[in-house]
Every structure is written in structure tokens, then in C-alpha cells.
Amino acid sequence: MPQQDRMQHHQWDSSLNALTVPLFLRLQWAQGASLGTLTPVLEKFAVSLVEFDVLATLRNSPPPHQMTPSRIQEEVVITSGGLTKVLLQLEARGMVTRRQLQHDLRSKPVCLADSGQALIETAMAEAVANTAQWLHQRLSEAEIGQLSALLGRLVDE
């Protein structure tokens, strides 16, 4: 459905902010469309969105690409139970390893395995290429830069 038609289907109470409501809706729709460019990559590499996110988070950490589960949980924004399930799945598939620390028996840091690193690097390259194609079909280079800067201002703390 064209964006203008979508906006007409959302007639919110006049007490709501007339600038914020359309922006809120467009941000949600843009996020959904952006994630849609990732779907073929997730299917190709047989990973869920949260598995992709965990692998990307580990890959983004400094070598040896190792983090504690609590740090991953902060970065990925997932419940501890959900993260435990994802880590067990990734470990069973050989994408991550977990080692018991001798000096801290309570902590088992998660380390990105070579196969996990290879997968996430290839998958991320494809995801970025898909997103770039989607963006360039809709926006100019200058508009992409402007949008990135504006969104950066929204998320910078």
C-alpha cells in the first residue's frame, strides 16, 4: 500500500501530536521494510534474527570476539532465558564456544567460533548490500546521508 494511503488509514485523535504520530508510524514502517531486506539473508544462512544479532554483536567486539552473556544481553536486548536458548543453539551448531574461566567459575564467556565468524561476515555483507540497494532505490546519496545524520541524533545519548 502506498505510504499516503497508509497514513490516511491512521486517523489518530486530534489530541495526539500531529508531527510525532506520522514520524512514529513511518519509523515503524521503515524498520519493518529494512528488516524485510534481511529476510532472504536469514533464510539463506538458516539463522534467526536474534542469532544474527548475537553473532554480529560478538563479531563487532574486539578480537578474540568474546563477551560475557550479560554483556551480550545488554547489547542485543533479550531476556536472559531467551539468550541462553540462542547461545545453546549457536553452540550446538559450532558457531560459538563457551569456556569456563578458572578464576571465575560463575562466568562462561561466549567466543565467536571460526565458522560463526565466517557466517556472520558473509551474511552481514549480503545484508548490507540488500539494504543499500533498497535505500538507493528510494533515496539519493545526499538524502541517505541526511537521514543517517538525523537518525543518529535521535539515538545518540
CATH dotted code for 43-138: 1.10.10.10
Residue 97 near residue 5 (C-beta atoms within 8 A): no
pLDDT in tens, 119-134: 999 999 999 999 999 9
Average pLDDT score over residue span 9-20: 65
The 8-class DSSP code of residue 52 comes to: H
Give me the percent of the chain exceeding a pLDDT of 70: 87
Environment class of 95 (CB within 10 Å of its CB; exposed 0-12, middle 13-18, buried 19+): buried
Confidence of residue 116 (pLDDT cuts 50, 70, 90): very high
Is residue 100 scored above 90 in pLDDT? Answer: no
Reported as a single tens digit per residue, the pLDDT across 73-84 is: 999 888 888 999
- Examine the pLDDT at 20 and tell me if it is beyond 90: no
37-61 pLDDT per residue, tens: 999 999 999 999 999 999 999 999 9
A 10 A CB-CB count for 139 gives 13
Average pLDDT, the chain: 87
Secondary structure string (H, E, C) spanning 75-116: HHCCCHHHHHHHHHHHHHCCCEEECCCCCCCCCCCEEECHHH
Q: Structural domain boundaries of the chain? A: 43-138
> What is the pLDDT at residue 79?
86
Query: What does the pLDDT average to over 11-18?
Result: 62
Tell which wins on pLDDT, 1 or 115: 115
The torsion angles phi and psi of 22, rounded to 5 degrees, stand at -60, -40
